Amino acid sequence: ASTLGGLAGCASQLPGFGDDADGSAVTPRPTVTGDADTTVSLTASDGAIRPATDQSTTTWLYEGQFPGPELRVQEGDVLSVELNNDLDAETTIHWHGVPVPNSVDGVPEVTQEPVASSDSFTYTFRAEPAGTYFYHSHVGLQLDRGLLGPLVVEERDPHVEYDYDYVVVFDDYLPGEPTLPSDEGAGGGGMGGGGMGGGMMGDVRPPYEGLLVNGQLPEDPPTFDVTEGDRVRFRFVNASSATVFGVRITGHELNVTHADGRPVDPVAVDSFAFGAGERYDAVVEATNPGSWFVQADALDGDEPPARAVLTYDQLDGVRNPETPSSSGTRLRYEDLRAVTPLDGVDGTPDRTFDLTLSRGRGQSYTWTIDGQAYPDADPLRIHPDEHVRIHMENQSPVVHPMHLHGHFFRVGDAIKDTVMVPGHMGEVTLDFRADNPGRWLFHCHNLYHLDAGMARVIEYV
Ligand code: C2O
Ligand code: CU
């Protein structure tokens, strides 16, 4: 493990908690009460998914839709969502990226009792800051069954102009019930219909049947209609369980305007890559009439790309679909510059965690942070108002999109809540201000890694 700016990391056991904490500062943000501006009810139940016309399979959905209904509210509005659980399993909803009060963060056993079958639970919070988010179940592998949907919190005063606003949710499509490899030595035996095949050495992705955009396979692509000369804002969400997507729109540059919902100085690129849990907004200028592909390739899989069609009115036929738009430039984190820097994360951190990410060594399929597999893992303890730094070194060959609940963090000059740590000793440093007391999960958003232990609780003491 390395040192950072002369600071010795290593914070698994920190002495001296409890006595010097200011008790009053540890109070979590209060639950939002009073009248909601928007009230929604989401019922989780069995449902049929038909990503292509000739396919149908029963899975779990919100409101019978896949993806779940788009929730769209104004920044600062109070949103109240009643989750009704019609599944024969426990469930929760997590508001991915929104720094909600801890009590409504939706993490079973950490922030709430899971919602029992036939029970309901109401999540009420102020929708802020503006941004592109999504919501999903935080129980086991339920997200991979379809319990997810987009959440858009609109700016009252956007820093970019646009005429259209389209949400584009990319996902990997798994028929049947997802399962973890139950035994590394089994070599693929005993998996459910959607199991991962139990590869012992590598990190085998589940046998995805296809890649989806807004719930559709490429045979039956959604269409985004625009008018020549207009500016189109796309809100791209990687809601997949285990896929890193490379995204581009043929014939057009992407002007990336937001990373994980946070505004950035616009960057023009040909494509960007994003991992599970990340979001990018990009504005496209409709100055090249025709029909084009909005396309996402699995960078770590070999399924055919997810595809939608961008079309200018009165024109059809896809023009030069395989031609990349321009230079082939791909967005890098270093290109991202937050419009407003994150407060309180400059200079020397008050506390640093130096963490390794790796595959567990035992007989069972586990993924670890600093050698520990959640839930048998020590919490990372912090004090309110500290500037906390987390440095990660990825000792495995695969990328880990690491997500922090309840806070945004600074990575380089960007502000994000999910960041990919590249494989083969890739390193990432993130900094955040401990400004939202509670118990928060910090984890890999590859659902199979999360479910196999790649998580820690960050606990305010
Ligand atoms: Cu998308 Cu722990 O969350
Ligand atoms: Cu991972």
- Are residues 329 and 425 part of one domain? no
Residues 234, 270, single domain; the answer is yes
Q: What is the Cα–Cα distance from 303 to 156, expressed in whole angstroms?
A: 39
CA of 139 to the centre of ligand 1 (A): 10
Query: How far, in Å, from the CA of 107 to the mean position of ligand 1?
Result: 9
Domain identity same for 402 and 370: yes
Looking at ligand 1, which residue's alpha carbon is closest to its atom 3?
A: 96
Decide if the complex's ipTM is over 0.90.
yes
Residue 87 lies in a domain: yes
Residue 261 domain boundaries: 166-170+209-335
CB of 405 sitting under 6 A from ligand 1: yes
Going from the Cα of 328 to the center of ligand 1, the distance in angstroms, rounded, reads: 31
Assess whether the previous peptide bond of 99 is cis (omega < 30° from 0): no
pLDDT of residue 16: 32
**Entry field: residues in the chain:** 461
Q: Does the Cβ of 437 fall within 6 Å of ligand 1?
A: no
pLDDT of residue 207: 78
Q: Tell me, what's the pLDDT at 54?
A: 60
Domain membership flag for residue 4: no
CATH of the domain at 223: 2.60.40.420
Ligand showing the shortest atom-to-Cα distance for residue 396: 2
In short, whether 151's Cβ falls inside 6 Å of ligand 1 is no
Q: What is d(CA 185, CA 11) in angstroms, rounded to the nearest whole number?
A: 34
What's the pLDDT tens digit per position in 333-360?
999 999 999 999 999 999 999 999 999 9
Is 5 part of a structural domain of the chain? no
Residues 139 and 180 occupy one common structural domain: no
Q: Which residues of the chain fall short of a pLDDT of 70? A: 1-26, 51-56, 182-204, 313-327
b vs e for 407-436, b when ≥16 Cβ sit within 10 Å of the residue's Cβ?
bbbbbbebbbbbbbbebeebebbbbbbbeb
192 lies in the same domain as 258: no
- Residue 7 belongs to some domain of the structure: no
Strands 414-416 and 131-136: what pairing? Answer: unpaired
Q: Is 345 found in the same domain as 327?
A: no
Q: Would you say residue 11 lies in a domain? A: no
Residue 8 lies in a domain: no
- What is the pLDDT at residue 417? 98
| Residue 258 shares a structural domain with residue 376 | no
Nearest CA to ligand 1 atom 1: 96
Last residue of one domain, picked from the residues 335, 362, 390:
335
298 and 197 in a common domain: no
Asked whether residue 324 is domain-assigned, the answer is yes
Q: Which ligand places an atom closest to the C-alpha of 137?
A: 1
Residues 188, 276 within the same domain: no
- The number of folded domains in the chain is 4
Q: Does one domain contain both 117 and 194?
A: no
Residues, beta carbon < 5 Å, ion ligand 2: 400, 444, 446, 449
Domain finish residue from 285, 304, 335: 335
| Same domain, yes or no: 255 and 275 | yes
